[in-house]
């Protein structure tokens, strides 16, 4: 067993199953993930950083390396691992057998996947969107603008989008049980895109604009303007170097 | 070939984040220098610029999966100080309870999973066995206790924070929803159980410590300044003043969270991605300061809860105040754990905790604000500059591991000097070095805002040629 956080072994052994967390930011990470792939029969990517790039892929907004060269000009290249040009998810370098996205990934999904693998079965896949697991009622509204998460208190029964909040549930893979929208907090897409978004190169912006416009009654142009002003809302979807075609049929 | 050499330990195991140790030897084969460095970088400070303040707290808490609660609370407090928001008493209590939950789940992880194997097994034990899984095989009861404690911490985060890891219920203005009465009663029952387990952990920890103390006190003893939160001279994790004491134990300064950045300065070295923080007034290297469990014990004279206070007094009597030995961090962490369990129980006993006034309206504006909390690893500060439109212009984070960075390096060099003489490396070097690093429970992820977790040791000669990797 190789797990630097818990066990003192320093070499990666040959294993049946490897679970990898975290993305690839340095050349050293890249070498390690290649080594792990070569030495394991089944490779599971766990958590949004490993599967899609996650929050850290926000670093792809601009060349982080350029900024760091200025800030870290003192850093000696020979002593520290060299940075990759961007933040990558591991599927950019190796083939992944199962993806368990989420930030954090839900414990029951991990348990289910591992049990299935051990007993030689295919794990149950979640293909639809978070809205299917959310109790909130979608009732088209007549609003004049969108609201920030902390701007007003939310109605406990009504769909958050219908209340003017930018909830990404309609764009995000189900399987988590919708804990965030259930508690009155907008989904921010930590499970990445659902199957439907992976088969075609669908424009996620256009899709979300349609959803928001139809549920709030705000004109699509206004919604578009509002969303374009705010690139951070979509970080999981647009900044990550996630290879959609490779991940088909493999996301749990 | 040059007679100078260099030793590398890579990855350093059982800590959070990627790290590496390099030891350089001189011609005679004695230690000339030793470095503990972070080999990872993510750049949160940069890529979040331009983000709206209302998304900041729950995004920034993703810096770290272990202490994300401390980060989200520090972040929200910074924003509230810009908005001049006064939150309600109920919200304040719930936030404090969340910090206790965080401390319990973190400390139970560190105590049982990361450091216990060092105390439990002899130093010569096969590395593949020196871990919690082996302890669980030999003593299943210890494993069960570890899990009871950790799940109590996680339950608090799940019930009040709405998610076990990366909570999101803490928002500018208070908490997103109140605590239900049945939830309070449920947590209170678990709290009693958890406190009982924490007491056993303390007994076991003290026993192992007593047994190994003669060996332990050799491992580093640096007389530095200490910093921690304090309220009326008592242990505190949230919403109070910051106090700095000198190596003799005299208070040199006491200040409010808003003034934090005037007292701390950062510096950078060429060989690591993590910065170093020190006391501005004293400069470098006089201003080296330590934070974390020992610092909390040294800065505060008392604790407000019964058992923790008793243990704190015993700690001071045994090891002096301020206590300096590095491995005491592991001991002090047990007192932290007891305090957190007692405090959680005390807060949960209060029926007012379920009041529904958890949220006040905020009025966004621009400006600069600081939020400071006591994270499991020490004093954590977030400083934000927001524009009038409510977007992040600049941010500065001072992370406990950055503050302890220099102390860790001094300790590593010390340990190396003890084990390496004239080119001969005595067995046990690797484990000793890792033990002193682990005492600080460093979180490299936070210090460099990077992902993932592991440390390496390198031995290099004077020309930088790699001779050996441990």
- ipTM score for this prediction: 0.83
Report the alpha-carbon distance of residue B413 to residue B330 in Å, rounded.
20
Q: Which two tokens stand for residue B328?
A: 């005491």
How many domains does chain A divide into? Answer: 2
Q: Is A94 found in the same domain as A139?
A: no
| Residue of A48, A74, A150 to mutate when probing chain B, most B C-beta within 10 A | A150
pLDDT of residue B285: 82
Report the alpha-carbon distance of residue A143 to residue A122 in Å, rounded.
45
Q: Is A169 found in the same domain as A114?
A: no
A39 part of a folded domain: yes
Chain A residues whose beta carbon lies within 8 Å of the beta carbon of residue B452:
21-22, 29, 49
Least confident window among A56-70, B89-103, B288-302, B310-324: A56-70
Residue that terminates a domain, selected from A76, A98, A124: A124
Give the residue among A64, A56, A166, A24 at the shortest CA–CA distance from B60: A56
| Residue of B41, B111, B164 to mutate when probing chain A, most A C-beta within 10 A | B41
A243 part of a folded domain: no
The answer to whether A73 faces chain B, any CB pair under 8 Å, is no
A242 part of a folded domain: no
Q: Is A150 found in the same domain as A223?
A: yes
3-state secondary structure B322-372: CCCECCHHHHHHHHHHHHHHHHHHHHHHCHHHHCCCCECCCCCCCEEEEEE
- Predicted confidence (pLDDT) at residue B75 exceeds the cutoff of 70: yes
Q: Is A168 found in the same domain as A117?
A: no
pLDDT class for A174, splitting at 50, 70, 90?
very high
Chain A residues whose beta carbon lies within 8 Å of the beta carbon of residue B168:
180, 183, 185
* Domain at A24, CATH number: 3.40.50.700
Q: Are A23 and A49 in contact (CB under 8 A)?
A: yes
Residue that terminates a domain, selected from A124, A156, A187: A124
The answer to whether A179 faces chain B, any CB pair under 8 Å, is yes
Give the residue among A194, A243, A241 at the shortest CA–CA distance from A95: A243
Residue that terminates a domain, selected from A73, A89, A124: A124
Q: Is A212 found in the same domain as A154?
A: yes
Q: Is A215 found in the same domain as A143?
A: yes
Tens-digit pLDDT profile for residues B92-139: 999 999 999 999 999 988 888 888 887 887 766 777 777 788 888 888
| Structural domain for A166, as ranges | 130-229
The answer to whether the predicted template modeling score (pTM) of the entire model surpasses 0.95 is: no
A7 part of a folded domain: no
Relative to beta strand A83-88, strand A24-26 is: antiparallel
A82 part of a folded domain: yes
Tens-digit pLDDT profile for residues A119-165: 999 999 999 999 999 999 999 888 988 888 778 888 989 999 999 99
Assign domain B44-400 one CATH number from 1.10.645.10, 1.50.10.10, 2.130.10.30, 2.40.50.180: 1.10.645.10
Q: Are B432 and B416 in contact (CB under 8 A)?
A: no
Q: Is A209 found in the same domain as A158?
A: yes
Q: Do B114 and A183 touch (CB under 8 A)?
A: no
Give the residue among B391, B401, B397 at the shortest CA–CA distance from B453: B401
pLDDT class for A4, splitting at 50, 70, 90?
low
Q: Is A178 found in the same domain as A90?
A: no
Domain ranges of chain B: 6-40+401-469, 44-400
Q: Is A98 found in the same domain as A140?
A: no
- Predicted confidence (pLDDT) at residue B448 exceeds the cutoff of 60: no
Tens-digit pLDDT profile for residues B351-396: 999 999 999 988 888 999 999 999 998 999 999 999 998 889 988 8
């Amino acid at each position: 067993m190789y797990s630097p956080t818990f066990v003192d072994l320093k070499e990666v052994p040959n294993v049946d199953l490897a679970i990898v967390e975290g993305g690839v930011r340095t050349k050293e990470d890249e070498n390690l993930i290649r080594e792990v792939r070569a030495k394991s029969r089944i490779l599971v990517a766990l958590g949004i950083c490993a599967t899609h790039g996650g929050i850290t892929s926000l670093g792809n907004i601009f060349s982080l390396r350029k900024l760091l060269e200025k800030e870290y000009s003192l850093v000696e290249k020979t002593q520290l691992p060299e940075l990759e040009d961007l933040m990558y998810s591991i599927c950019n370098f190796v083939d992944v057998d199962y993806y368990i996205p989420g930030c954090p990934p839900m414990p029951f999904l991990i348990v289910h996947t591992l049990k299935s693998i051990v007993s030689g079965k295919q794990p149950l896949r979640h293909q639809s969107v978070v809205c299917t697991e959310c109790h909130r009622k979608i009732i088209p509204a007549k609003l004049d603008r969108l609201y920030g998460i902390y701007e007003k208190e939310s109605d406990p029964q009504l769909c958050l989008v219908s209340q003017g909040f930018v909830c990404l549930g309609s764009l995000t893979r189900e399987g988590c049980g919708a804990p965030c929208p259930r508690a009155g907090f907008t989904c921010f897409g930590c499970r990445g895109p659902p199957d439907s978004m992976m088969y075609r190169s669908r424009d996620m912006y256009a899709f979300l604009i349609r959803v928001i416009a139809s549920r709030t009654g705000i004109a699509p142009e206004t919604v578009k303007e509002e969303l374009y002003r705010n690139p951070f809302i979509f970080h999981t979807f647009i900044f990550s170097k996630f290879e959609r075609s490779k991940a088909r049929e493999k996301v749990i | 070939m040059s007679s100078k050499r260099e030793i590398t330990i890579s990855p350093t195991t059982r800590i959070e984040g990627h790290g590496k140790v390099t030891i350089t030897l001189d011609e005679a084969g004695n230690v000339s220098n030793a470095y503990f460095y972070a080999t990872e970088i993510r750049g949160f400070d940069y890529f979040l610029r331009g983000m709206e303040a209302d998304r900041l707290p729950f995004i920034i808490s993703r810096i770290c999966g272990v202490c994300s609660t401390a980060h989200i609370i520090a972040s929200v407090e910074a924003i509230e100080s810009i908005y001049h928001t006064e939150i309600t008493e109920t919200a304040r209590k719930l936030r404090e309870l969340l910090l206790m939950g965080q401390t319990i789940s973190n400390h139970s992880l560190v105590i049982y999973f990361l450091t216990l194997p060092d105390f439990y097994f002899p130093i010569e034990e096969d590395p593949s066995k020196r871990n919690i899984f082996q302890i669980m095989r030999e003593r299943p009861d210890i494993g069960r206790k570890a899990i009871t404690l950790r799940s109590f911490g996680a339950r608090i985060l799940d019930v009040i924070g709405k998610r076990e890891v990366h909570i999101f219920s803490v928002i500018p203005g208070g908490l997103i929803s109140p605590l239900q009465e049945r939830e309070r009663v449920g947590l209170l029952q678990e709290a009693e159980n958890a406190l009982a387990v924490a007491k056993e952990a303390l007994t076991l920890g003290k026993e192992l410590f007593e047994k190994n103390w003669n060996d332990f006190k050799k491992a580093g003893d640096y007389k530095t300044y200490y910093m921690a939160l304090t309220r009326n001279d008592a242990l505190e994790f949230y919403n109070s003043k910051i106090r700095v004491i000198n190596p003799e134990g005299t208070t040199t300064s006491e200040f409010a969270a808003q003034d934090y950045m005037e007292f701390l300065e950062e510096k950078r070295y060429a060989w690591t991605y993590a910065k170093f923080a020190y006391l501005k007034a004293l400069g470098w290297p006089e201003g080296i300061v330590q934070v974390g469990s020992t610092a909390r014990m040294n800065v505060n004279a008392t604790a407000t809860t019964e058992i923790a206070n008793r243990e704190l007094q015993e700690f001071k009597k045994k090891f002096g105040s301020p206590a300096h030995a590095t491995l005491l961090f592991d001991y002090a962490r047990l007192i932290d754990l007891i305090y957190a369990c007692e405090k959680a129980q005390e807060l949960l006993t209060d029926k007012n905790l379920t009041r529904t006034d958890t949220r006040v309206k905020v009025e966004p504006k621009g400006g600069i604000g600081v939020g400071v909390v006591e994270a499991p690893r020490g004093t954590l500060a977030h400083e934000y500059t927001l524009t009038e439109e409510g977007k992040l212009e600049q941010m500065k984070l001072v992370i406990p591991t950055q503050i302890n960075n220099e102390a860790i390096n001094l300790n590593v060099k010390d340990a190396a000097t003890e084990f390496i003489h004239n080119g001969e490396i005595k067995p046990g070097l690797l484990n000793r070095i890792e033990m002193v690093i682990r005492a600080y429970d460093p979180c490299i992820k936070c210090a460099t805002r990077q992902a993932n977790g592991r440390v390496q040791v390198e031995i290099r000669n004077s020309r930088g040629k790699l001779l050996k990797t441990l």
